[in-house]
Structure 1
Amino acid sequence: MSQAKISKIETGSVIPAPADVDVLARALHADDAEVFRLVMLAESRRNRVQELPPGRTDAAIWQVEIAQLEAAASTFRVFQPAVVSGLLQASEYARTVLARVQSTVMDPPVEPDRAVAEAVSGRMRRQEVLTDRNKEFRFVMPETLLRFQLGRADVMPAQLNRLREVARPDNVEREATCDIEPLLDRYRRHYLALAAAQG
């Protein structure tokens, strides 16, 4: 194990895997019972619900921290009643959400547009975890979430298409309390009517 990794574990910037705990405990001459206890603690820590510490000031850094937690997880159970989960967001939906988060929850950055663009890019990179067939995902969202238009008129149809795409792999289960197709038709009609009225 590298010194850099040990330093990250010591400072708490990385959560050690149970295998890392085993290696470190044995290197420190812990007896088998203590090694077992420490490995079980590490395992239980990795399996619990994780909350991010308060005081985040940069949505892009937030995405990196969440990605580290997601990389270590093997099973995802997500219920998000307010917005579509970040792992399922289309880029424009993510931009709308992260711009609001950046402007209302976090300290204002020097360059807000750049900060939001970096956060969106980080969120899109996080979605690569969905391709890992060794991980299992289950997302549950209420119907009201899918009916609420967030941002411009073209944001929700793209988001609904993204939800449809993401449910294709065997390791991803998306469950909404309604069928997406009628909603997508409704947003298409609304968007076409809006475009006709503006054009």
Structure 2
Amino acid sequence: MSKDFPLPDDLPVPEDDGAADHLQGMEMPVVSLESTDGTVVDLRALPPRTVVYVYPLTGRPDRDVIPEGWDDVPGARGCTPESRGFRARYDELRDEGIGEVFGLSTQSTAYQREARDRLDLPFEMLSDADRALASALELPTFTIEGDEYLKRLTLVVTDGRVERVFYPIFPPDEHASDVLEWVSGASR
């Protein structure tokens, strides 16, 4: 549970609307994204087994950036707690054969860098601000206050293909444990 962005008890639970069904087995597109460490990551050349968790928007304690009605959108709330969950499970995921973990949103690299540093994440974030990956993979989205956001989902990419899709995700603060459980079973 996050101290600066706690999850309310009455969050609406997202339902599987089928918007991610097409992703299983897809080849990663020819897309490169800027990373919070200043490098450009070629999504076709990811480490042999990579976790990419997609999230809509991280908040910041020093700014009011969360749109009005955010908590009413199923699956929107929880990006900071989800990132902290992946931080807590990072070493275990690596021990189970995950080559790398990346968080991904449409926020700028500078914005993501602040979150990475503040949350002390041992992995990098990828910015899809131009929506190149979102468009190529037709990632599910939602709109609030006229702005479009990516819906929360996680891809396990193996040898350039989407091996596993987690969608919808709830609760987000426990999701990294779900991914670890699946990876642990799949690697045996």
TM-score range with shorter-chain normalisation?
under 0.3
TM-score (norm 2): 0.25
Q: Structure 1 or 2: larger helix share?
A: 1
**Taking CA–CA contacts closer than 8 Å with sequence separation of 6 or more, which of the two structures ends up with the larger relative contact order?**
2
